[in-house]
Structure 1
């Protein structure tokens, strides 16, 4: 990823180990993919009128452990001419600490979601956070599918773009994480939605696939969705 990309979302770049993590060659020598551009080189917050609070609904469904519902809040304010972002990612026992950004450009909700997901993968499998970050980074750089997708936001149908990746599908080291081989991530973004991020989703099957017999009864199901539900004050 280019220096400009890291400048626009420096904290996310560091957390996802985007520099020198791909193996052969260097990130700087590679062309930035459309998925990377959408997620890391776009000024997601440019159209938000501040001060503002963006609220996202979080839902987890699972047959591995109890699911739950919660929320994520992103508070935006101008301080000394810079856009400050404070992210409250989940609450109570599920709360994840994310450092505040003193000069935000990209939407830090993306960072919070990925870091939460990576921490959960580490907890469930015993794998390393560096490994999971690298697989996500490589999938975005080399194997992401980007498509147009209409969404309904506050009663209106607007155009969006969906980025889909399966980081572990073609990993030669996947044997240790065989049950998570087909885990899919979907990121839905739209310029017509405040903060640009409409929905973030990670899926390893759904409960109904087990009930209907389309997936083995002992197959792990972990489905997490984060969806923008409100912005205050209301954006024009």
Structure 2
């Protein structure tokens, strides 16, 4: 999943996204999630904090529930004006995951980190090839629609929602997780742009089987 466009492309995407917001014209999902210069409105020394929650209806089937934190530290500017060098603290104690550091990033790495964490978890649960799961998510994102949204403190935002396994030929092996939906909410004016990522599967009655939620929890400068 491409996260680092060149300087000219990034600038064009920035202005295209701003124009789209002004006209309420949805940008392409891949552009707003993976191509836009999401870190351009951060500065060296900034800390972007995110809360993380995992809920599980059955620890044996879907893994244990827990709450934790993810922190991005902006170390310094990257090679291009919109790029940053980033350190990541992903979870703590026994839940800690290796992440980065990332050099000359224009996109916010929390999107790819959340997806990678989810894919590794699903792969372990189903004994599935991670590449198969990743390809399904990529295919869904290529077809995804972007809708206007609103979040607290931000005039406008964008929402992208996909259900990559709904029609998967192997869904009977997924213990109900073929219902997984991935919801991304981003706001270009928010530091780091990413406000929330929610990945959830529910049963026929609407009860949560497994849910992972990452939500922006503020910035320290």
**Bin of the TM-score, shorter chain as denominator length:** 0.7 to 0.9
Q: Distance in 1 between matches of 2:108 and 2:165?
A: 25
1:126 paired to 2:127: yes
- Structure 1: distance between partners of 2:78 and 2:29: 32
Specify which of 179, 183, 186 is matched with residue 183 of structure 2.
186
Instruction: Name the SS of the counterpart of 1:171 in structure 2.
Output: coil
Quote the Cα distance in structure 2 between the aligned partners of 1:151 and 1:179: 30
CA distance in 1, matches of 2:208, 2:189: 35
Task: Name the SS of the counterpart of 2:104 in structure 1.
Answer: coil
Give the Cα–Cα distance (whole angstroms) in 2 for the partners of residues 130 and 99 of structure 1: 21
Distance 1:99 1:75 in 2: 11
Whether 1:214 and 2:205 are equivalent positions in the alignment is yes
Among 68, 71, 82, the alignment partner of 1:70 is 68
Q: Does structure 2 retain, via aligned residues, the 8 Å contact 1:160–1:190? A: yes
Question: What SS class does the counterpart of residue 44 from structure 1 fall into?
Answer: coil
Q: 1:6 to 1:226 in 2, by over 3 A?
A: closer
Q: How many residues align?
A: 194
Give the corresponding residue for 1:50. 44
CA distance in 1 between counterparts of 2:189 and 2:154 reads 10
- Aligned partner of 1:19 in structure 2 is none
Give the TM-score of the pair, scaled to structure 2. Answer: 0.80
Whether the 8 Å contact between 1:179 and 1:220 is mirrored in structure 2 is: no
Match of 1:90 in 2: 91
Q: Does 1:163 align with 2:170?
A: no
- 1:23 is matched with none
1:76–1:86: 8 Å Cα contact kept in structure 2?
yes
Length-normalised TM-score, structure 1: 0.75
Q: What corresponds to 1:172 in structure 2?
A: 169
- Name the structure 2 match of 1:197: 194
Partner-residue secondary structure (3-state), 1:187:
strand
Q: Write the distance in 1 (CA, Å) between the matches of 2:3 and 2:109.
A: 13
How far, CA to CA, are the matches of 2:137 and 2:78 in structure 1? Answer: 35
Residue 50 of structure 1: how far off its partner (Å): 2.2
Q: CA-atom RMSD, angstroms?
A: 2.3
Structure 2: gaps spanning 5 or more residues: 7-26
Cα distance change on mapping 1:232 and 1:127 into 2, 3 Å: same
Query: Does structure 1 residue 230 correspond to structure 2 residue 221?
Result: no
